[in-house]
Structure 1
């Protein structure tokens, strides 16, 4: 598994280095995960922090702000 620093770097690149946008995406996705949404990556919510799961989803291109807005 990759280090969170590498994952955060990839996630930031996915949003054109816009930290504000990334934080908004993460906040919205963490909220969804806390309400029972299934992770889009192979990570167990009981073993990993929700923030780490959300960051990994963004880094892997599994989630973007437009997808969250639709939910």
Structure 2
């Protein structure tokens, strides 16, 4: 799936808050890069951690919400 389509779907999951999405992707990508198991069926050797994180959010595998 194209990055633009994934980003649009992921933005819908966070009420179109691009800053919240960027923060969530960054945190999840860091966790994946440090060994966390992806919640989607992908080859971690061929996909970047940021793309995996974006895919997880777009598919609703990761719930993103504001922390107070």
Higher helix share: 1
Q: Quote the Cα distance in structure 1 between the aligned partners of 2:22 and 2:13.
A: 12
Within 5 A, what are the aligned runs for 1:28-67? 28-65=27-64
1:2-56 deviations in whole A, cap 9, x for unaligned? 2111111000110000001001110110110011001100111101011110000
Equivalent pairs, count: 66
Report the TM-score when normalising by structure 1: 0.85
Q: Which runs of 5+ in 1 are unaligned?
A: none
Report the TM-score when normalising by structure 2: 0.89
**Is residue 9 from structure 1 mapped to residue 8 from structure 2 by the alignment?**
yes
The runs of at least 4 aligned residues of structure 1 exceeding 6 Å deviation read none
Asked whether the 8 Å contact 1:25–1:64 carries over to 2, the reply is: no
